[in-house]
């Protein structure tokens, strides 16, 4: 299980990264924390002629807060997000989700931007970005772009990223009046979830306002459950969102869990999440 | 009186009474492992070491049309590329059958498949290179053309024989057996209650953290093959290398240093390992193969995969009359050499119903070939299946009779004073303690208290379940296990004890160590029997050129058989030491004893002669001893169990779970195991050995299953997809012991290595079903995934 | 094609310089180039934790880290942490409690445990189990490992209390 041979470059500037990615096209792959790419290389299910290690670009690292938004740099590790006081204060959903990501040794290396770029449908950060209505910031030789998270995830491991484009960070609008809950079901701690939900709402007199339910494991990409959100809007927590979720989600069966079971579990989680938001 | 008090080493004439037997002594050999300074195969460094990687069949069943090695041979670092025919010239094929499994059949198997691959993952070509990475690069350059053949994946389809896998056979049945004891039909006819249920057991595998590993080093000058091998049975492998590579037995040396987990996985003959040894001879240089994780999933033996229907007949008073079962199990395309793949099914039919005193028993077994990876003996062989289906159907009967499951078991367990006893399946039990174990378990877990708590919580919508699983286990096997069937597997083990000049004690044993603590307990036995302190003892295992001949470590035999050999050698050495002391001191031997590294006066306890002084005289100044006296400070003794085919042990486990009936998730809250392994030599080691076994059993119950697609592709051959138990989900496990020593040896120790794995799946299954009972749901297909629990509940 | 690059890093306090292929992961580098075979390979896809080592003070999966990513960094392995005495308490507790059998997972397990002991002095049994949930042990029932770490945490709390109580 040794990776096939590849070359390695560690550029010192964003401009250099963009130039390399542009020049080498799809034969180059970006290496951030490597926690998904390196196992795929070891397993020889992925290959690359060149790995472009972006870990030397300090500007991509860290969490910052402005008046109305929190910015998580692409190279910020899962562990840094988990332990960030700013994140806990301004985007508690991320702090709630972080401990579900694999294990400490992986959270130390794996990066926020890497997870967004990979777009694993069962990963935590992409679903959180949907719930938080985040914006993905990118750069390439052609320039910078800001892409709403809700338009970013296109399919199984597929995003709006263009060839040669790199995620630099994620901007999250501050939502001081919202509560958040993150729930997921995985058979063992740290495993990818069978299904999970990132939930947010404001609570007014026992009813939920601006309800946001984003699912991981609910389809070929992270999904915002718009029908369920509409059904839950302005009401006390509902007990059954089944029919709405059936319209929102189309889970993929895995070896142990059918699509139907996943839909059932999503409904259980949605109910629990809404109750927890209101509680 | 406990077994320990009865030990011969506590003879009233000696002063080594307290001894180390029964003490929780930390094992000395753990220290190097704690510093990362062990010596696993992959840690060894050799000049000119070559690495091998294998091309493995991508198909479940296919003819090899052609393989073109030209590109691979030209790749950087490549030393050689070989196909099955080339290797077969150096290594003869083998057939995994045994004479006492009547009718068992299997075709010849080669190190590399020659014309046809019979499972996805079977090795068909070997690439040897300067580094493993280069070997893997070159494997990708082998151009192979395949002609896919129909693959038989489902066991029922295999039994039907519509497609026969091996052209030399008429059907796919490897082995079958029927038992019909007593009057089974009459018993069912006359029964007040008959229950029947089918159980399904997933195929799983051992997942040793260290992959299978072999470093074969052929020295052409000596015509000598030295094999550094992660194996549980070095002498067996010496014999096999000698036979199949055509080398004199004395020209094969097998060395086992540290081994990173085995559990039965590393006691078999693997084609890729035989190939590695052959390659070393072919290339006249050391060659190493360490199975990576993908290869481990595809080619380490798998196990289990049974579908069993069982019936139980009982009276309305709760007396079990009869068991009747039909077991179908699929083993892959070959019966594994040399132990065969018929043993697991054979164990199922031997052990089902084992704890109980019914008189009527019928069992039918079919072991069939399929085009999946081979299966063979993995920890607790057959026991988890026999225990789960016995205890599952027993619970169902209790439920139907409206009896408490603990009480129902008590009524039917063989009485503790009934031994020796022959069970309905024909197994002979020397001495078992089902009732004592049950009593101890119920009090240890506060069974009544838990039942009350369960009822209270149920009112609040919390679904807790309590599951019991009584068990019997095969340990300390005699030659009846393999030897009588013609396998050249030693049922005997040996120990050599040598007193060194400084009074140190060296112990050499044919039993191997994979972390169970074998070396530690041998040091305890040797120190106790000879009369030295533990710090004076050094134990050496795992080298065919230095240790006595013996079987190695498997079937819960190390302590019971190897330990008895150490004890007997210790007694003999002690006697020899006293002879020398008597000669030096010019006193009667009967007046002397050995205690704490010194020869003492038996009556007064006064120190007479330190062993270091005795050693000095015996080795360096024998001229001072009487003229005709020869000192003998090295002694070898062997032991093999004779009176019983197996030294059966018993125990009982309990599991407490909570089921989330909305999600189907099962939370393990606590687990208990009370076990009777006879003399407990080291409680610290025994308890964690049991716990490790329990956790492997929990893996079977909740997590582990090799998933194959309809065309025979293993779909979860990574550790991300094949779920092993991790610390986060495991419960605390409480252990208890009853000690009824076996009288077949002076040590009195029975085996314990497989107890946990044997009983845990049944206990967890019964606990889940207990939790679900008020909802009218039952699960019987392992592993019990959330989906299977939800299916049983009719949710989704 | 030869893609190898020069690499300099500090391993267990000693500077190591070598040429390395970019595809070589840190564990192969440590084992084959630096000769430190205490860190073990278990799965090479980041699941088993046998290769857990410390890079710049943080625990990482050695099999998911390329050696070239460690240019200029400080790596600590089981050997170095043993010799420095940093692991001594845990090693003793593991030994006394028999928190290992075959010992293959042990180096990774100890490095992960040390991370918890240092960062969470009040960790509960539950938290210990959670922290170790990425380190696979097939031999023990995990209980002895959890017990051993619990013992070290309790011991350290007692020592800290005693030190704090001193005038």
How high is the ipTM of this complex? 0.97
Q: In this complex, do C42 and B210 lie within 8 Å of one another by their Cβ atoms?
A: yes
Structure tokens at B423: 């069970």
**DSSP 3-state assignment of C81?**
helix
**DSSP 3-state assignment of B241?**
helix
- Summarize pLDDT for B541-555 with one digit per residue, the tens: 999 999 999 999 999
Tell me if A219 sits within 8 A of A197, measured CB to CB.
no
Decide the pairing of beta strands B360-368 and B421-422.
unpaired
Q: Delimit the CATH 3.30.43.10 region(s) of chain A.
A: 7-53
Query: 3-state DSSP helix/strand/coil percent for chain C, to nearest 5?
Result: 45, 15, 40
Measured distance CA(B259)–CA(A241) in Å, rounded: 53
Structure tokens at B240: 């096999």
Mean pLDDT of chain A: 97
Measured distance CA(A251)–CA(A248) in Å, rounded: 10
Say if A255 is an interface residue toward chain B (CB within 8 Å).
yes
Query: 3-state DSSP helix/strand/coil percent for chain A, to nearest 5?
Result: 35, 25, 35
Write down all domains in chain B, each with its CATH number in brackets: 3-38+492-639 (3.30.365.10), 41-149+229-279 (3.90.1170.50), 302-479+643-793 (3.30.365.10)
How close does chain B come to C142, measured CA to CA in Å? 6
> What contacts B1, CB < 8 A, 6 or more positions away?
none
Chain A residues touching B137 at Cβ < 8 A: 4-5
- Summarize pLDDT for A63-86 with one digit per residue, the tens: 999 999 999 999 999 999 999 999
Measured distance CA(B105)–CA(A159) in Å, rounded: 55
Q: How far separated are the first and last CA of chain A, in Å rounded?
A: 49
Q: Residue B450: which region, alpha, beta or left (left: phi > 0; alpha: psi -120 to 50)?
A: alpha
Strand partners, A203: A208
Closest by Cβ to C47, choosing from B693, B719, B756: B719
Q: How far separated are the first and last CA of chain B, in Å rounded?
A: 57
Q: Delimit the CATH 3.30.390.50 region(s) of chain A.
A: 179-278
Say if C149 is an interface residue toward chain B (CB within 8 Å).
no
Asked if the model's pLDDT at residue B746 lies above 90, the reply is yes
- Summarize pLDDT for C112-164 with one digit per residue, the tens: 999 999 999 999 999 999 999 999 999 999 999 999 999 999 999 999 988 88
Report the residue of C47, C100, C139, C152 to disrupt the B interface, i.e. the one with the largest count of B CBs within 10 Å: C139
Residue of A nearest to B717 (CA): A43
Closest by Cβ to B726, choosing from A189, A255, A264: A189
- Summarize pLDDT for B556-609 with one digit per residue, the tens: 999 999 999 999 999 999 999 999 999 999 999 999 999 999 999 999 999 999
Query: B12: pLDDT confidence band, cut at 50, 70 and 90?
Result: very low
What's residue B179's pLDDT? 98
Structure tokens at B440: 């101890």
Average pLDDT over residues A255-279: 97
C-alpha separations of B82 from B128, B137, B275, B614 in Å: 8, 15, 10, 59
Decide the pairing of beta strands B537-541 and B505-509.
parallel
CB pairs under 8 A between A and C: 93
Q: In this complex, do C23 and A4 lie within 8 Å of one another by their Cβ atoms?
A: yes
Measured distance CA(A171)–CA(A76) in Å, rounded: 13
Whether residue C105 has a cis bond before it, omega within 30° of 0: no
Q: For the sheet containing A135-140, what is the strand order?
A: A63-65, A69-73, A166-173, A135-140, A143-148
Asked if the model's pLDDT at residue A240 lies above 80, the reply is yes
What's residue C164's pLDDT? 82
- Summarize pLDDT for B434-475 with one digit per residue, the tens: 999 999 999 999 999 999 999 999 999 999 999 999 999 999
Report the residue of B790, B793, B795 to disrupt the A interface, i.e. the one with the largest count of A CBs within 10 Å: B790
CB pairs under 8 A between B and C: 174
**Buried/exposed code over B614-634 (b: 16+ C-beta within 10 A; e: otherwise):** bbebbeeeeeeeeeeeebebe
Distance of CA B452 to the CA centre of its chain: 38
**DSSP 3-state assignment of B419?**
coil
- Summarize pLDDT for B222-266 with one digit per residue, the tens: 999 999 999 999 999 999 999 999 999 999 999 999 999 999 999
Subunits in contact with chain C (3 or more CB pairs closer than 8 Å): A, B
Closest by Cβ to C132, choosing from B260, B719, B727: B727
CB neighbourhood size of A156 (10 A): 12
Distance of CA B517 to the CA centre of its chain: 14
Burial class (CB in 10 A: 0-12, 13-18, 19+), C144: buried
Q: In this complex, do C63 and A38 lie within 8 Å of one another by their Cβ atoms?
A: yes
Dihedral (CA of B735, B738, B739, B742) sign: negative
Structure tokens at B366: 């079919």
Strand partners, B145: B66
Phi and psi at residue C157, to the nearest 5°: -65, -40
Q: In this complex, do A6 and C3 lie within 8 Å of one another by their Cβ atoms?
A: yes
Average pLDDT over residues B312-334: 98
- Summarize pLDDT for B26-71 with one digit per residue, the tens: 999 999 999 999 999 999 999 999 999 999 999 999 999 999 999 9
Residue of A nearest to C5 (CA): A8
**Which CATH number applies to A60-173: 3.30.465.10, 2.60.40.10, 3.40.30.10, 3.30.450.40?**
3.30.465.10
The CATH class given to the A7-53 domain equals: alpha beta
Tell me if A22 sits within 8 A of C17, measured CB to CB.
no
- Summarize pLDDT for B178-207 with one digit per residue, the tens: 999 999 999 999 999 999 999 999 999 999
- Residue B261 C-beta-side C-alpha neighbours within 13 Å: 27
Measured distance CA(B372)–CA(B370) in Å, rounded: 6
Measured distance CA(B135)–CA(B127) in Å, rounded: 6
Q: In this complex, do A256 and B785 lie within 8 Å of one another by their Cβ atoms?
A: yes
Chain B residues touching A187 at Cβ < 8 A: 665, 702-703, 723, 729, 785-786
**DSSP 3-state assignment of B400?**
helix
- Summarize pLDDT for A137-175 with one digit per residue, the tens: 999 999 999 999 999 999 999 999 999 999 999 999 999
Whether residue B433 has a cis bond before it, omega within 30° of 0: no
Write down all domains in chain C, each with its CATH number in brackets: 5-77 (3.10.20.30), 87-161 (1.10.150.120)
Measured distance CA(B230)–CA(B214) in Å, rounded: 6
How close does chain A come to C150, measured CA to CA in Å? 19
Chain A residues touching C52 at Cβ < 8 A: 105
Strand partners, B595: B598
Query: B397: pLDDT confidence band, cut at 50, 70 and 90?
Result: very high
What's residue B14's pLDDT? 44
Tell me if B77 sits within 8 A of B134, measured CB to CB.
yes
- Among A residues 31-50, those touching chain C with beta carbons less than 8 Å apart: 31, 34-35, 38-39, 41-43
Closest by Cβ to B293, choosing from C45, C96, C99: C45
> What contacts B679, CB < 8 A, 6 or more positions away?
B3, B4, B7, B21, B22, B739, B741, B747, B748, B749, B750
Say if A15 is an interface residue toward chain C (CB within 8 Å).
no
Say if B692 is an interface residue toward chain C (CB within 8 Å).
yes
Q: For the sheet containing A223-224, what is the strand order?
A: A179-185, A195-204, A207-216, A223-224
Q: In this complex, do B723 and A191 lie within 8 Å of one another by their Cβ atoms?
A: yes
> What contacts B452, CB < 8 A, 6 or more positions away?
none
Residue of A nearest to B789 (CA): A261
C-alpha separations of B108 from A267, B111, B183, B238 in Å: 54, 10, 41, 20
Q: In this complex, do A185 and B715 lie within 8 Å of one another by their Cβ atoms?
A: no
**DSSP 3-state assignment of B489?**
coil
Closest by Cβ to B292, choosing from C21, C44, C97: C44
The CATH class given to the A179-278 domain equals: alpha beta
Across B331-378, the runs of DSSP E, i.e. the strands, are 360-368
What's residue C163's pLDDT? 86
Structure tokens at C96: 């006394």
């Amino acid at each position: 299980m040794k990776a096939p041979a590849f070359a390695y470059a560690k550029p010192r500037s964003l401009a250099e990264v963009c130039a390399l990615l542009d020049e080498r096209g799809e034969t180059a792959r970006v290496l951030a924390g490597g926690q998904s790419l390196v196992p795929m290389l070891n397993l020889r299910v992925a290959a690359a002629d060149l790995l472009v290690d972006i870990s030397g670009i300090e500007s991509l690292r860290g969490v910052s807060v402005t008046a109305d938004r929190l910015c998580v740099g692409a190279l910020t590790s899962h562990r840094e997000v988990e332990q960030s006081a700013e994140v806990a204060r301004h985007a508690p959903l991320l702090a709630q989700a972080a401990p579900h990501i694999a294990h400490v040794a992986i959270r130390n290396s794996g990066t926020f931007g890497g997870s967004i770029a990979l777009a694993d449908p069962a990963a935590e950060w992409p679903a959180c970005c949907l719930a938080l209505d985040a914006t993905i910031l990118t750069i390439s030789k052609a320039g910078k772009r800001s892409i709403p998270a809700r338009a970013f995830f296109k399919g199984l491991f597929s995003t709006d990223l263009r060839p040669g484009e790199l995620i630099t960070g994620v901007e999250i609008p501050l939502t001081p009046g919202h509560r958040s809950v993150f729930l997921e079901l995985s058979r063992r701690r740290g495993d990818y979830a069978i299904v999970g939900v990132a939930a947010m709402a404001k609570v007014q007199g026992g009813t939920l306002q601006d309800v946001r339910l984003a699912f991981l494991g609910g389809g070929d990409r992270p999904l915002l459950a718009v029908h369920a959100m509409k059904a839950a809007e302005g009401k006390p927590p509902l007990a059954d969102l089944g029919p709405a979720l059936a319209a929102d989600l189309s889970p993929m069966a895995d070896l142990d869990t059918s699509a139907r079971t996943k839909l059932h579990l999503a409904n259980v989680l949605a109910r629990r999440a809404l109750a927890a938001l209101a509680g | 009186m406990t077994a320990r008090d009865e030990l011969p080493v506590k003879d009233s004439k000696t002063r080594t009474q307290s001894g180390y037997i029964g003490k929780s002594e930390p094992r000395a050999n753990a220290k190097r492992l704690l510093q990362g300074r062990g010596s696993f195969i992959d840690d060894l460094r050799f000049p000119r070491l070559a690495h091998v990687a294998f091309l493995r069949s991508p198909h479940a069943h296919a003819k090899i049309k052609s393989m073109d090695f030209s590109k691979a041979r030209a790749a950087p670092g490549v030393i050689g590329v070989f196909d099955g025919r080339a290797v077969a010239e150096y290594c003869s094929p083998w057939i995994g059958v045994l004479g006492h499994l009547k009718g068992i059949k299997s075709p010849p198997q080669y190190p590399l498949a020659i014309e046809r691959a019979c499972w996805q993952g079977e090795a068909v070509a070997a690439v040897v290179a300067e580094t493993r990475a280069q070997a893997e690069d070159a494997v990708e350059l082998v151009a192979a053309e395949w002609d896919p053949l129909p693959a038989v994946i489902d066991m029922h389809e295999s039994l039907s024989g519509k497609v026969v896998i091996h052209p030399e056979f008429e059907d796919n049945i490897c082995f079958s057996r029927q038992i019909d004891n007593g009057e089974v039909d009459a018993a069912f006819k006359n029964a007040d209650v008959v229950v029947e249920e089918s159980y399904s057991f997933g195929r799983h595998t051992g997942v040793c953290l260290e992959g299978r590993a072999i470093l074969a080093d052929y020295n052409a000058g000596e015509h000598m093959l030295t094999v550094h091998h992660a194996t549980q049975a070095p002498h067996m492998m010496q014999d096999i290398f000698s036979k199949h590579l055509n080398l004199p037995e004395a020209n094969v040396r097998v060395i086992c240093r540290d081994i990173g987990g085995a559990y039965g996985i590393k006691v078999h003959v693997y084609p890729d390992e035989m190939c590695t040894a052959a390659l070393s001879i072919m290339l006249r240089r050391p060659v190493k193969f360490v199975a990576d994780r993908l290869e481990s999933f595809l080619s380490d033996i798998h196990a289990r995969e049974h579908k069993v229907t069982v019936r139980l007949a009982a009276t309305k008073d709760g007396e079990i009359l009869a068991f009747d079962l039909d077991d179908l199990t699929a083993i892959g395309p070959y019966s594994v050499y040399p132990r065969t793949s018929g043993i697991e099914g054979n164990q199922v039919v031997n052990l089902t119903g084992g704890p109980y005193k019914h008189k009527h028993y019928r069992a039918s077994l079919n072991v069939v070939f399929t085009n999946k990876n081979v299966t063979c003996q993995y920890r607790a062989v057959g026991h988890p299946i026999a225990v789960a289906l016995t205890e599952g159907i027993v619970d169902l009967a209790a439920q139907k009779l409206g009896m408490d499951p603990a009480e129902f078991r008590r009524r039917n367990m063989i009485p503790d004073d009934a031994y020796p006893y022959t069970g309905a399946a024909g197994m002979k039990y020397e001495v078992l303690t089902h009732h004592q174990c049950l009593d101890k378990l119920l009090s240890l877990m506060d069974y009544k208290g838990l039942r009350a708590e369960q009822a209270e919580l149920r009112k609040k919508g919390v679904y807790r379940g309590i599951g019991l699983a009584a068990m019997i286990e095969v340990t300390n096997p005699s030659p009846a296990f393999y030897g009588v069937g013609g396998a050249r597997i030693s049922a005997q083990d040996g120990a050599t004890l040598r007193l060194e000049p400084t009074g140190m004690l060296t112990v050499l044993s044919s039993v191997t160590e994979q972390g169970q603590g074998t070396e530690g307990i041998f040091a305890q036995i040797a120190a106790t029997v000879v009369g030295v302190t533990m710090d004076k003892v050094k134990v050496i295992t795992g080298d065919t050129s230095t240790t006595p001949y013996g079987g190695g470590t498997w079937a819960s035999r190390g302590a019971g058989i190897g330990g008895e050999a150490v004890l007997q050698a210790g007694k003999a050495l002690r006697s020899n030491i006293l002879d020398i002391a008597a000669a030096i001191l010019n006193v009667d031997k009967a007046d002397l004893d050995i205690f704490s590294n010194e020869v003492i006066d038996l009556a007064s306890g006064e120190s007479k002669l330190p062993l270091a002084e005795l050693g000095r005289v015996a080795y360096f100044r024998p001229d001072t001893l009487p003229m005709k006296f020869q000192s003998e400070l090295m002694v070898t003794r062997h032991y093999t169990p004779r009176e019983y085919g197996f030294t059966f042990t018993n125990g009982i486990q309990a599991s407490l779970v909570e089921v989330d009936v909305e999600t189907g998730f099962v939370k393990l809250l606590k687990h208990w195991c009370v076990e009777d392994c006879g003399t407990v030599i080291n409680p610290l080691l025994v308890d964690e050995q049991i716990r490790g076994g329990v956790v492997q059993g929990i893996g079977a119950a909740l997590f582990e299953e090799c998933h194959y697609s309809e065309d025979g592709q293993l779909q979860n051959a990574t550790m991300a997809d094949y779920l092993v138990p991790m610390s986060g989900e495991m419960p605390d496990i409480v252990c208890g012991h009853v000690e009824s020593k076996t009288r077949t040896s002076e040590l009195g120790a029975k085996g314990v290595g497989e107890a946990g794995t044997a009983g845990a799946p049944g206990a967890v299954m019964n606990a889940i079903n207990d939790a679900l009972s008020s909802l009218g749901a039952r699960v019987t297909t392992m592993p019990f995934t959330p989906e299977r629990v939800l299916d049983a509940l009719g949710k989704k | 094609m030869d893609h190898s690059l020069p690499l300099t890093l500090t391993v267990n306090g000693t500077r190591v310089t070598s040429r390395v292929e970019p595809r070589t992961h840190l564990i192969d580098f440590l084992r084959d180039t630096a000769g430190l075979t205490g860190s073990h390979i278990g799965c090479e896809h980041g699941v088993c934790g046998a290769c857990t080592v410390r890079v710049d003070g943080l625990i990482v999966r050695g099999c998911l880290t390329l050696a070239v990513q460690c240019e200029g960094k400080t790596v600590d392995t089981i050997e170095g942490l043993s010799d420095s005495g940093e692991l001594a308490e845990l090693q003793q507790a593991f030994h006394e409690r028999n928190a290992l059998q075959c010992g293959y997972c042990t180096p990774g397990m100890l490095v992960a445990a040390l991370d918890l002991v240092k960062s969470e002095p009040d960790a509960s049994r539950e938290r210990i189990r959670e922290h170790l949930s990425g380190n696979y042990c097939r031999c023990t029932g995990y209980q002895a490992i959890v017990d051993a770490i619990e013992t070290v945490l309790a011991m350290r709390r007692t020592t800290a209390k005693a030190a704090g109580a001193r005038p």
